[in-house]
Amino acid sequence: MRRAQLSLSAVEAGVGVLLVFAVTTGFVLGSPAVAGDAQLDAYATDLGAVLANDAPRHGDATRLTEVTRSPSGFERESTALAERINRVLPENLMYRVETAHGTIGYPRPDGVAYGVARHATPYGTVTIWVWYG
């Protein structure tokens, strides 16, 4: 019977090459950490610091203080706060600001790098998220 023998060496070589390429794939797919978080964190911290400079329409020391003080404070100032954030924040950034009495901004998407900062006021903490969008 004259059957061609499957050259065992070819099979062995094929397996060897596959193994080496499996390791290579590890190099290719291992992705480095997402850079730019430091920049987004800085934007979030800066946004808190800049908003803390603003006088509110009514009442308390700063707009952020007013917004954390009470639900009615939040009601009164939240629109002005949103407008102010829209003016101050660069165009390519989206934000979310959360206080104990309510939240303004956009819902946070999953899987996107974001920066976060917490700003303390006498009545509570304001959490600010910023991402590219």
Partner 1 sequence: MRAQLNLPALGVALLLVTAATGVSLAVANGAFAAAERDPIADHAATALADRLVAADGPLAVRKNVLGADAVAAFDSPRLRSLVGERGAVVRLNGRVVARAGDVADPRTMRRLVLVATVENRTLTPRVERGAAVTLPRRTDRVTVTLDPPAGTVVRAVRVNGRTVLSNDDGLRGTFALDSSRVRTTTVEFDATDRLPAGSITIEYAVERTEKGVLGVSVDA
Contact residues for partner 1, defined by CB under 8 A: 5, 7-10, 12-13, 16-17, 20-21, 23-24, 27-28, 30, 32, 35, 38-39, 42-43, 46-47, 49-50, 53, 55, 61-62, 87-90
Closest-CA residue to 102 (of 133, 130, 64): 64
Q: If DSSP codes are grouped into helix, strand and coil, which group holds residue 26?
A: helix
Tally the residues of the chain: 133
Closest CB 61 distance from partner 1, rounded Å = 4
CB nearer partner 1, residue 12 or residue 75: 12
Closest CB 35 distance from partner 1, rounded Å = 7
CA contacts within 13 A on the Cβ side of 48: 23
Closest CB 41 distance from partner 1, rounded Å = 10
Closest CB 125 distance from partner 1, rounded Å = 17
CB nearer partner 1, residue 27 or residue 110: 27
Cα angle 65-104-42, degrees, rounded to a multiple of 5: 75
Closest CB 54 distance from partner 1, rounded Å = 9
H helix or E strand, kind and range, residue 24: helix 8-29
Q: If DSSP codes are grouped into helix, strand and coil, which group holds residue 66?
A: helix
CB nearer partner 1, residue 38 or residue 107: 38
CB nearer partner 1, residue 42 or residue 112: 42
Q: For residues 132 and 90, what is the distance between their CA atoms, to the nearest angstrom? A: 10
